[in-house]
Structure 1
Amino acid sequence: MAAADPPDRTSRSGLWLTLALAVLAGLLGSLNGLGRFDQILYDRTVSITGRSADPDILIVAIDDASIDALGRWPWRRAVHAALLERLREARAVGLDLIFGEADTANPHDDRILADSIRRNGRTVLPIVLDRLNRPSSISAPIPGLAQAAAAKGFINARVDSDGAVRAATLTADVAGERWNHLALSMLEVGGEAEQAQEFLKRAAPNGGMLIPYSGPTAHVRTVSYLSVLRGDVPPEALRGKYVLVGAWATGLGDAYPTPVSHDVSGMSGVEIIANLLQAARDDVAFQRPPAWWNGLFSALPVLLACLALWRLSPKRALLVCVALLAGILLAALLLLASGHFWFAPTAALLGVALCYPLWSWRSQEAALRYMDNELRRLQREYPPVLNEARAQAAGPSASLESRVGELRRALARVRNLRRFLADGLDGMPDATLVFDQDGRMRFRNQAAVMYFQRLGMRPPRVGRPAIHLLEKTISDPATRQRVAEALSGQGPAAGSSPWSADLELRDHAGRDLILKCSPIHTAEGNFAGTVATLTDISRIRQAERQREETLRFISHDMRAPQSSILALVEMKQEGGSREGPNETLDRIAALARRTLHLVDDFVHLTRAESMTISAVELDLGSLLQDAVDEFWASAQKRGIALDLRLPLPAAYIRGDQTLLMRALCNLIDNAIKYSPPQTRIECGIDEASGFWRVGIRDQGHGIAAKDLGRLFEPFSRVGIETRGDAGGAGLGLAFVRTVAERHGGSVEVSSEPGAGSVFTLRLPMAPEASAEKHRPHGLPAA
């Protein structure tokens, strides 16, 4: 067991390291990565995934030129009313301007602006929430303006910890009242309320979503407030447009850092609203997946990296890790651009980046530990023969180089002897095992490995006791004990000359073996171990049994007809026979034919067992039809109806025509021999899962259940007392079984005494491309 411990510990350490790295990456991924680093990667990715600006969205910017022409801010509200008169053909107008207090300097301006808003009919005014997370109050426009507006929407920006605006909140509940973002309110006023609701469904449960910016700052089409007010912008350019009015001038209004404005000071709030409006119209919403999705996305590359490090060489594993790092970034980009999901990649990048150095450290520790264990294993495996010194294991604090040097010296001491023994053992054709003086196995050749595999056992490992192998090999307990004593040197002549074994036994698989044991001695003559060889003589014993069966066949079945012939001739010569010459000759001819039939059956069985199969494509239906035609006259002579079930399928197989034809003839001949007159024999072919089944059904006496098991054995003639002796030797059905098995098939029988028997020959189908299935044959001969 100790020899298997280092690999087991190495595998366990690799498994634990893989699990630790995967869990770390999955945990960080479920917590949305590494924060700031993921934000940087997100910003760069969003910058790449831009879209064309929506031509139906227009920003009317309060820019520096407008300030210069109209005076310092704030302007009179009558000016805004005049602007709204110019925007009467717009689809919806969003005023990103706060009107939270009445104009005390020009009190009539509030009424003028309210009338203008009412006449426009599609103006949306902003409100401000006290906070985005669970707001409790709002700052709304003055009542006159709020009542005149077509809708209202909040304009709060959702700012991340670094001051950038990457996400937006689309809806919020304030004191039981539902408020939407200004962009969604504009969609509803513009007649796209259904689109706004669909867009809301893409938001997270808290109403938030990542803003899919269409481009950098100033990407949205913008015109000057002054140019619209003067009428420089033609009405056609404003008709049917979503118009946002907001501050753009230097030092005026709000400007926020965004993922697409890293090259400038920021993006104005009105343009952020325009980007959100376009996203809603395009139905594009960047979303963060559930935490477990992101954890899985982070853990999967780590598992792949560890698998590559486990299976590949260090160079190839390094290339795989580099490719995984690039693949993670590419996957994050493609998922955001195509699937609109942002998977935070830094957790996966960190996990893969840690894989290679940590795995290299683990591999080096495993290599050092493996060398230590191998040195200790050499101490256990190398017996003290030929006065060889034992290998010395390096200390736990020794370096890799010192361990390599010690291992090299230890191997040099045993290399020649071990190589000599290993080559000699592997070159032996018989299974050979070498045991030490304690009865533990130290060497086994390749033939021994193959023998135990055929026996259904794992190949014996070094250090296993002999008694363990013998319990799994030798079936007789007394023989096991006797051999165990021989292998341990405790036999009758233990001591200076241990007992040697040379005996025949049988293993659990029924193989006949000859076990020979010889002692090994050191140069001083001390007992050092035992060499045991297992020689398989099963074929020899089988040949002997076949020879005995053949001798019995020749001495009984072959001699009986000849003896009868001689007896008839002798009676005729002595004149003691009352039969006429024709009757005597008929008897002699019948006995001679029986002898020839026996010889033919024996020869055909022998050839079927040994000859090389010449596989050609055959139509089993044609063979069966020919066989039925051949025996039709014999069946009619005995008053038996021999029928062929039609139509026959095109049953194509591959095999030897002569052998298959004779097998079919044997089955039909047996059915005729053992069927009483005025009965019926039915022959047919069926298809069953890759095989063709030829069925021969008779109405004979049937076969007893106790005889079915040996029905296909050579020289087996069962149930003759009930069926009548038809003169066979039990070789016909043995021939059928041999032919079926050599063609990859089988033969089966089902029978009930008094009700007849069904013999079924199963043969594998030929490839379907060779012929059409189920093509009917013609009718058989009359």
Structure 2
Amino acid sequence: MATADPPDRTSRSGLWLTIALAVLAAVLGSLNGLGRFDQILYDRAVSATGRAADPDILIVAIDDTSIDALGRWPWRRAVHAALLDRLHGARAVGMDLIFAEADTVNPNDDRILADSIRRNGRTVLPVVLDRLNRPSSVSTPLPDLEAAAASKGFINARIDPDGAVREAVLTAQVAGERWNHMAISMLEVGGEAQRAQSLLRRARPDGSILIPYAGPTAHVRTVPYLSVLRGDLSPEALRGKYVLIGAWATGLGDAYPTPVSHEVSGMAGVEIIANLLQAARDGIIFQQPPAWWNGLFSALPVLLACLALWRLSPKRALLVCVALLAAILVAALLLLAYGNFWFAPTAALLGVALCYPLWSWRSQEAALRYMDNELRRLQREYPPVLNEARAQAAGPSASLESRVGELRRALARVRNLRRFLADGLDGMPDATLVFDQDGRMRFRNQAAVMYFQRLGMRPPRVGRPAIHLLEKTISDPATRQRVVEALNGQGPVVGTSPWSADLELRDGAGRDLILKCAPIHTAEGNFAGTVATLTDISRIRQAERQREETLRFISHDMRAPQSSILALVEMKQEGGSQEGQSETLTRIATLARRTLHLVDDFVHLTRAESMTISAVELDLSSLLQDAVDEFWASAQKRGIALELRLPLPVAYIRGDQTLLMRALCNLIDNAIKYSPPQTRIECGIGEAPGFWRVGIHDQGHGIAAEDQARLFEPFSRVGVETRGDVGGAGLGLAFVRTVAERHGGSVEVSSELGAGSTFTLRLPMAPEAP
């Protein structure tokens, strides 16, 4: 039965978790958040959005100083009448004092107060509703006072369950009659009915608003009752002002907790009315958006947090979640300050706060489940290659630490396997390169590094395209294109052969190579790369060429003298004169010596190519002196002067004395053979950076430029027509070149027809020469 891919299951679980968290935040947001927590945040936000107090609003406070001067409360209503007479220039006067019962002690004071209210003409008296939610009755002032007042307004405060006043009801209907809040009535009396109506239109359907407090307690301009009564304020200072008269003294009147009064016991009711009055005049009210708006506001940060968790690393996702928490608070504050909307943020805060731990739990469970599956698969597919412990798949109840331990052991097995394979590839004698599916090199063994170093190239770097290596290695474009196709997985696999390419080629250094490419596939059978091996078969091909040359040498150069000897013997058997007998024997001896000389040269060349060099410290000058002494007599017999260029330096080298001595002898012998009589051969030693140079200069016929290139090849005899056939098979100079190269040096020739030749043997100086 097929099972879903673990990444697919993880994606689906992440999607469902995202939906669940977003729905939770949206539902809580539409229900106005978490209540008490949102109220706390709202109080702090309102405190941070203060405004300057309206200079046209003045509170006449019945404070402790006024009570000390005028006596205990309640005062006579004639005193209030005297105060009203001082407020004739005010735009509207709101008395936050309830006069529901007649004054039985001073009966005339009610009439005096009514007359004063009537003279003022702009006085608003308070009424009290039995309740704000569907009121059924209204408590009004005395009839005389009510008749004298310019307007009336209720002063009830809406108190939240925690005792704070955050909202105000601006209008209410009782028994079919519409009653407005005192702040609304004062605006109408003061000639600003349009502002009052604008405020009413923006209120909620039940007539309520969130009070946009302008500042903390005592933020509104306040003067003592006694100061106004004594006339300390000039009429000009009161002209055009909204004046509110209310209790302020300790223990007197009403005081309520508000969002801006958390540092004191509360705010007086008269100052709450003043804040409502300023809000209407400023055209500012705080509103709560519709429920679906608040739900969207709460769900959007949760979706962003889940998106970050889905796309980013755990560290960055955590930073994003923290930033979202701060952004939610800042956004709520800015919307309240500049948009006058209060979005309850706790639902969004809760949703974002839950995102990280829940997502981390889900990711950890998915990772552990995937880890268990892979450990079981590793246990089935890859047995231990070394002595590491066998990985055991942890059960579903295993702790994270135990699973990490199993993963550590499994990774140790993988590292051991990689090291096992890497060491195995490094131990292969052939250059091996591993390419990925894009043709970029991903692995090279030590043999490959050494091969490219011998080729004069920097060892290939990991990640380098294969085409760069092919251009340096393969000169034939068609062969290079075929290898490129094999590296791209396009090479055909013929029959049962595992190779996608099997070619023999020659590289830039002239080496003969066999290049084989084998494709690499993933566990699912997809093409993943190519393994390429370069096998150097230069020695094999050189041996084959030497075999052909040897066969040619045996079949021609060694057969010819023997055939001549046989012919001479037959001539002798057939009979001949006594005079020809001596000539025949002489010719037989010459041919026999030539045969021995050919065999000797061939043996020495073979030994020089194959024998192990026993390097000892030698003085090259002594070797050259000995070689000159050995051939001095032969040179004198032919009338040739063999000389040394003196003085000879002390030239220390490291090498095989026998091979070096024979190489010098070959050069001097050739110079004697190919030099005409009465000429001079000069031998000397010079110095070059890191090398000693042995020069052999003769005054022979010279060598043509076109023949110099193949002069040191085996069985190559050049210039026979001009220099005369002096015997030999062309192995002497091949021997010299072989000895020079095996000692880290070289041999060169400089020659011109008719001007002689100079052979130079270059040998490295001894590392620690005295």
Is the Cα contact below 8 Å between 1:517 and 1:533 reproduced in 2? no
Is the Cα contact below 8 Å between 2:384 and 2:413 reproduced in 1? no
- Separation in 1 of the partners of 2:363 and 2:303? 17
Is the Cα contact below 8 Å between 1:61 and 1:225 reproduced in 2? yes
CA deviations over 1:267-313 (Å, ceiling 9, x no partner): 11001100110000000101111122222222222221222122111
Is the Cα contact below 8 Å between 1:50 and 1:214 reproduced in 2? yes
SS of residue paired to 1:245: strand
Is the Cα contact below 8 Å between 2:60 and 2:224 reproduced in 1? yes
Cα shift at 1:233: 1.0
SS of residue paired to 2:44: helix
SS of residue paired to 1:105: coil
Structure-2-length-normalised TM-score: 0.54
Indicate how the Cα distance of structure 1 residues 93 and 85 shifts in structure 2: closer, same or farther if over 3 A, else same. same
Is the Cα contact below 8 Å between 2:127 and 2:155 reproduced in 1? yes
SS of residue paired to 1:340: coil
CA deviations over 1:1-32 (Å, ceiling 9, x no partner): 96752112211222222222222222222222
Indicate how the Cα distance of structure 1 residues 515 and 215 shifts in structure 2: closer, same or farther if over 3 A, else same. same
SS of residue paired to 2:5: helix
2:102 is aligned with 1:102? yes
2:243 is aligned with 1:240? no
Give the count of matched residue pairs: 448
2:154 is aligned with 1:159? no
Uncovered stretches (5+) of structure 2, i.e. residues with no partner = 426-431, 440-489, 499-522, 529-770
- Separation in 2 of the partners of 1:404 and 1:61? 73
Is the Cα contact below 8 Å between 1:518 and 1:531 reproduced in 2? no
Is the Cα contact below 8 Å between 1:100 and 1:140 reproduced in 2? yes
Aligned counterpart, 2:348: 348
Cα shift at 1:106: 2.1
Indicate how the Cα distance of structure 1 residues 373 and 531 shifts in structure 2: closer, same or farther if over 3 A, else same. closer
- Separation in 2 of the partners of 1:279 and 1:532? 73
Aligned counterpart, 1:112: 112
Indicate how the Cα distance of structure 1 residues 167 and 371 shifts in structure 2: closer, same or farther if over 3 A, else same. same
CA deviations over 1:318-363 (Å, ceiling 9, x no partner): 2112111111111111111111111122222222222222222222
Cα shift at 1:409: 4.7
SS of residue paired to 2:212: coil
SS of residue paired to 1:94: strand
Structure 2: which amino acid aligns with 1:183?
Answer: A
- Separation in 2 of the partners of 1:532 and 1:320? 39
Indicate how the Cα distance of structure 1 residues 221 and 417 shifts in structure 2: closer, same or farther if over 3 A, else same. closer
Aligned counterpart, 1:150: 150
- Separation in 1 of the partners of 2:32 and 2:38? 8
2:140 is aligned with 1:132? no
Identity, in percent, stands at 82
Aligned counterpart, 1:55: 55
Indicate how the Cα distance of structure 1 residues 112 and 307 shifts in structure 2: closer, same or farther if over 3 A, else same. same
406-415 vs 145-154, which moves further: 406-415
Structure 2: which amino acid aligns with 1:67?
Answer: I
Aligned counterpart, 1:193: 193
Structure-1-length-normalised TM-score: 0.53
Aligned counterpart, 1:751: none
Cα shift at 1:391: 6.9
Aligned counterpart, 2:316: 316
- Separation in 1 of the partners of 2:526 and 2:247? 99
Q: Give me the CA root mean square deviation.
A: 3.5
Cα shift at 1:378: 4.4
2:196 is aligned with 1:169? no
Aligned counterpart, 1:288: 288
SS of residue paired to 2:395: coil
- Separation in 2 of the partners of 1:24 and 1:326? 20
- Separation in 1 of the partners of 2:244 and 2:320? 50
2:211 is aligned with 1:211? yes
Aligned counterpart, 1:760: none
- Separation in 1 of the partners of 2:404 and 2:524? 33
Aligned counterpart, 1:93: 93
Is the Cα contact below 8 Å between 2:64 and 2:250 reproduced in 1? yes
- Separation in 1 of the partners of 2:28 and 2:348? 8
CA deviations over 1:209-235 (Å, ceiling 9, x no partner): 111111111111111111111211100
CA deviations over 1:517-545 (Å, ceiling 9, x no partner): 6499xxxxxxxx999999xxxxxxxxxxx
Aligned counterpart, 2:546: none
Is the Cα contact below 8 Å between 2:160 and 2:166 reproduced in 1? yes
- Separation in 2 of the partners of 1:269 and 1:533? 83
Is the Cα contact below 8 Å between 2:385 and 2:417 reproduced in 1? no
Between Structure 1 and Structure 2, whose CA radius of gyration is higher? Answer: 2
SS of residue paired to 2:244: strand
Aligned counterpart, 1:761: none
- Separation in 1 of the partners of 2:115 and 2:75? 18
Aligned counterpart, 1:141: 141
Q: Please give the residue correspondences for 1:198-597 in structure 2 after superposition, counting only pairs within 5 Å.
A: 198-378=198-378, 393-407=393-407, 409-410=409-410, 518=496
Aligned counterpart, 1:19: 19
- Separation in 2 of the partners of 1:105 and 1:414? 104
- Separation in 2 of the partners of 1:231 and 1:100? 28
SS of residue paired to 1:168: strand
- Separation in 2 of the partners of 1:427 and 1:259? 68
Indicate how the Cα distance of structure 1 residues 126 and 303 shifts in structure 2: closer, same or farther if over 3 A, else same. same
CA deviations over 1:178-230 (Å, ceiling 9, x no partner): 11110011001100001111111221111111111111111111111111112
Structure 2: which amino acid aligns with 1:46?
Answer: V
CA deviations over 1:624-668 (Å, ceiling 9, x no partner): xxxxxxxxxxxxxxxxxxxxxxxxxxxxxxxxxxxxxxxxxxxxx
Structure 1: which amino acid aligns with 2:202?
Answer: R
Cα shift at 1:102: 1.7
Q: Please give the residue correspondences for 1:722-741 in structure 2 after superposition, counting only pairs within 5 Å.
A: none
Structure 1: which amino acid aligns with 2:262?
Answer: H
Is the Cα contact below 8 Å between 2:117 and 2:149 reproduced in 1? yes
Indicate how the Cα distance of structure 1 residues 301 and 82 shifts in structure 2: closer, same or farther if over 3 A, else same. same
Structure 2: which amino acid aligns with 1:68?
Answer: D
Indicate how the Cα distance of structure 1 residues 397 and 237 shifts in structure 2: closer, same or farther if over 3 A, else same. same
CA deviations over 1:416-450 (Å, ceiling 9, x no partner): 879979999965799xxxxxxxxxxxxxxxxxxxx
Is the Cα contact below 8 Å between 1:515 and 1:533 reproduced in 2? no
Structure 2: which amino acid aligns with 1:149?
Answer: A
